[in-house]
Structure 1
Amino acid sequence: MVFITDTYKTKDEETIFYYKWEVKKMPLKGIVQISHGVGEHAGRYHSIAKLLQEKGYEVYANDHRVHGKSAENKNDLGFYDGDNYFDDAINDMRQLTEIIKNEHPNKKIILFGHSMGSLLSRDYVTKYGDDLEALILSGTASFMKGLGTFGLYSAKVISKFKGRERSNQLLKSVFFSEFNKKFKPNRTKVDWISRDENEVDLFEADPYRIEDFSLSVFLDILKGSKKINEKSTFKKTPKALPIFIFSGDKDPVGEMGEGVKRVAENYKKAGIKDLTLKLYEGGRHEMLNEVNKEEVQQDVINWLEKRTKV
């Protein structure tokens, strides 16, 4: 077995499940903490985590609350009744960081975030960036002026009348169906994540895949997305923190590359000294599960090895 699992209790008594890919019998190059996307779970990052482990990087990844094995049972997947999902998820990430720091007191952390996890990570670095050695963002997004504004307004109105607890078909349709429309004729509901049909089928069959979310999750992620894409948030990012942003140029979350470019440009304007942007031609939302995933994984390793010291 190449990984172990454990749990920790949050300050509000939630149980968070996490994975750890340990490094043994070789010098430790660094620690990578992974923050996964909405509707998925940390176990989907086994391939990149195992590769990082083999290269000398120890990897930790938690299932965000109401995701994966952090949900008490599968009926709880996607169901959130707290006050602010975005803030709670960041606080949970921070507790995992504290576990890492206790186990590796002399090592800084490389934070890797995908999709929603990239949004959480971008906020995280404005608060705890001094604990980090580097930031890697996969499938990140700017705030979509059309879809994002409509979604935020709709979520606020609907939550006032129907509450925050359960899902709303309109918002599910607006976002995920809208993403998938870019790739008609559709074979599945999630063609937008990858051109690799095997990876798409694996995700569709994943027992921890979430389709039904509390309205509050949508609302809080949209509010968080708007906040992190403001100039003031970019300016709070440590200027010396190396950042690697990668995405597919056919990722609808990143507005077919244009939103990702805006994020990179805003980081440059904020004074980030070491910024790398790579858009993969034809790639969709999950570049780590794309037809050229080996190339993408190697690019991540190469970028990291230039910025970490044993």
Structure 2
Amino acid sequence: MKNLFIDANDGHKIPIYIKEAPNEKAILQLVHDSIDNSSRYFDIQEELASHGITTVNSDTRGHNKSVNNPDELLYFGEHNGWNNCTDDIHVINEYMKTISDKPRFVLGMGIGSMLVRTFLFKYGEDIDGAILIGSLPYVGNLKMQYLEKIVNFNLGKYGSHYRSEKLYNRVLKHLNKRFKDTSGYSYISSDLQEQDNFRKNPLNLGVPTISLYRDILNGVRLIQNDTSVHYVPDELRILFMAGSDDAFCGSISKQKSLVSFYASKGKNASLAIFDKARHDILHDYSRQEAIKTILEFIEGTNAFCPIDK
């Protein structure tokens, strides 16, 4: 695994991790979730390399080696954080052109998939396909206004670096309530060992800054905008993937509605659901099926059934 830093548009240093495939067929960029880190996907990079897929993983701003001091943890920046993170994906993708002439794909996980959805309407013409794992379904306007009101109140009162345990429990930890196992990270995976691995990884710990919520809500507004989705290239292949028991994604019907939204705008979107898997289908009992699905999508050997418009 190669580890190096490349320059973002604003001078930020982006840490990237490259696993080269000996018989390369394609190159895939990975964008991790929030409350997550790049190291959790090193095993996936190794496995994909054995199938001829070179991967480029990275630390999103506010995570792991992208952080110079503790105040920057789970913090996209004072201004324009969401767009900066999206542009970082583009910078990495441009770098990928210098190391490979093979077809280029991007895979985003959770919040990472939402960043990729933003990337698609800004830079989608640059890639051959996108894989979106555990992506947030449509959020209603009333709920958005309610969440924005809470976030803006805390921003005004405490500042952008404020960290609210109460809000963290409300937004994330409540996802565990539907599951009988009570590790505190039950929403991640139905595999108890993977839950334990997640809990013991210090890079997964910490309460997000209030500004991170602001940036994510700004991102949700962007990706739900009809005009934004219009600029996603119609011919670009997009595969949504989700566990049937993903508390972050909601019900299977909500995932179908999300993909139907893209299809209704003329986009080439399809959906793969993994039975009984939770939020991280790559670290659940669905792992091998999910990797097989990713390989089939990249190789174009499975047409996938599109959702009806």
TM-score computed with the length of structure 1 as normaliser:
0.91
Measure the CA separation in 2 of the matches of 1:186 and 1:149. Answer: 33
What does residue 15 of structure 2 align with?
17
**Aligned partner of 1:55 among 46, 51, 55:** 51
Q: Which amino acid aligns with 2:138?
A: F
Report whether the alignment pairs 1:131 with 2:129. no
What stretches of structure 1 of length at least 5 have no aligned partner?
A: none
CA contact (8 A) 2:274 2:286 kept: no
Residue-pair matches, total:
301
Measure the CA separation in 1 of the matches of 2:277 and 2:190. Answer: 7
Report whether the alignment pairs 1:168 with 2:170. no
Measure the CA separation in 1 of the matches of 2:298 and 2:60. Answer: 25
Distance change (3 Å), C-alpha of 1:64 and 1:58: same
**Aligned partner of 1:291 among 285, 295, 298:** 285
Measure the CA separation in 1 of the matches of 2:93 and 2:45. Answer: 17
**Aligned-residue identity in percent:** 23
Give, in angstroms, the shift of residue 307 of structure 1.
6.2
Measure the CA separation in 1 of the matches of 2:57 and 2:297. Answer: 20
CA contact (8 A) 1:71 1:77 kept: yes
Secondary structure of 1:167's aligned partner: coil
Q: How does 1:177-188 map to 2 (within 5 A)?
A: 177-183=173-179, 185-188=180-183
What does residue 237 of structure 1 align with?
232
CA contact (8 A) 1:79 1:214 kept: yes
What does residue 6 of structure 1 align with?
4
Q: Give the aligned CA root-mean-square deviation in angstroms.
A: 1.9
Report whether the alignment pairs 1:144 with 2:139. yes
Q: How does 1:1-310 map to 2 (within 5 A)?
A: 3-24=1-22, 26=23, 28-73=24-69, 76-104=72-100, 106-145=101-140, 148-183=144-179, 185-273=180-268, 275-306=269-300
What stretches of structure 2 of length at least 5 have no aligned partner?
A: 303-309
Distance change (3 Å), C-alpha of 1:252 and 1:148: farther
Q: Which amino acid aligns with 1:217?
A: L
Secondary structure of 1:193's aligned partner: coil
Measure the CA separation in 2 of the matches of 1:167 and 1:192. Answer: 22
Measure the CA separation in 1 of the matches of 2:276 and 2:115. Answer: 26
Q: Which amino acid aligns with 1:17?
A: P
Aligned structure 1 segments of 4 or more residues deviating by more than 3 angstroms: 73-76, 146-149
CA contact (8 A) 2:114 2:223 kept: yes
Give, in angstroms, the shift of residue 37 of structure 1.
0.4
Distance change (3 Å), C-alpha of 1:143 and 1:220: farther
Measure the CA separation in 2 of the matches of 1:84 and 1:307. Answer: 39
Give, in angstroms, the shift of residue 38 of structure 1.
0.3
CA shift digits 1:270-306 (9 cap, x unpaired): 1123x32111222111111112211111121122212
Secondary structure of 2:266's aligned partner: coil
